[in-house]
Structure 1
Amino acid sequence: MHEGSISRIADRDKPDTSALPPPDTTRAAAVSVQADTLLTTQQVHVFSQPDGRPDVFRLVLRGPSVLEGAAMFTITDANGQVIFRETLSAADLEAPMVYEMKTATATPAEREAFVRRRIREFFRPAQFSSPAVPTAAPYPTGPEAPDHATWNDLRKRHESIRFTYLVGKEDRRSIAWSPLKKQVVRL
């Protein structure tokens, strides 16, 4: 054996002094899943249950700031199952502000106040209507229209509920629970 080989073997037994020290867990900050939650609003409303038990409509804005966050819109049924989920950006919530502006630009504080108000008012009672599809309503055209069977089934259900909300400046969306499909559908 050569001397060089012996020294390498001997070096393997020495502790590695270049390794990082163990982490200091005594100073670890408490971490919460909700730490970045900025605003939350919710409304309990009958929507999907034939027995009249209400669902929970919730909008939760999370992110680094109100103007840079994303809002998760969920509907949870009475059994605790999430039946609808959609993400809206802060820009989606802020966009209709242009219709209320009195000047060409808005300050960040005005923009933030508008987004906060939109979130607070997202589930106003006027957003809910029944029936989800009036009996005489013609079948809609477009890529978001439900299939004919779902549309016709909802037209027969006078107890069905429609929820309408605005995304961006002019994208007015309507959703309803389809007992036929057993899911939320866009109208």
Structure 2
Amino acid sequence: MPAQIMSDLYCLKEGFPLMAASAFYRSLFGAGLLALGSSLATSPAFARESSTYQTAPASCDNRDFIAKQQAFENGGPKADVPVHLCGTVVAISPKAKRTRSGWHGYFYVAVAPNISIRIVSGLDEMNAPAWPWVNKGDQVEVVGRYYYDSLRRQGVDWTHHGTGWSWHVPGYVTVNGKRYE
């Protein structure tokens, strides 16, 4: 039996105060909490949740977006991140699609030469006219959540003013100067 435990048992038997024993167990408890905290902080689930408390850049920042996209493509952590990007609409899905979270409109924005990104608009949540309210060639500014599942499954969603338990950054889409939230 370790000497510290033997000493603690002797103190209990003889009725002495356990000051030394208490300090020993407090340090063990503290070390355990520290280890638990560090393992949680590095887990993918914690990274995904903690990212929701970030904020989007105050103005359009395509370089920031492209850096985040490249980090994800190169194997970086896959936590959702807020983005603020702008560019030209290069393609539109003419029909809205119904998903489990409501009606959505989809379009693609060129943010740099040869780089475009899918924008997902939650039509039930936005104060916008009937879909499609964007056209090819329109200039847009988008604030939302960038998600990266794979090279072929990535985009920007949460482009509306509403927030939820899983996302805390209100988004919007501005089309040729007209803002839809």
Larger Rg: 1
TM-score by length of 2: 0.32
TM-score by length of 1: 0.32
Greater helix content: 2
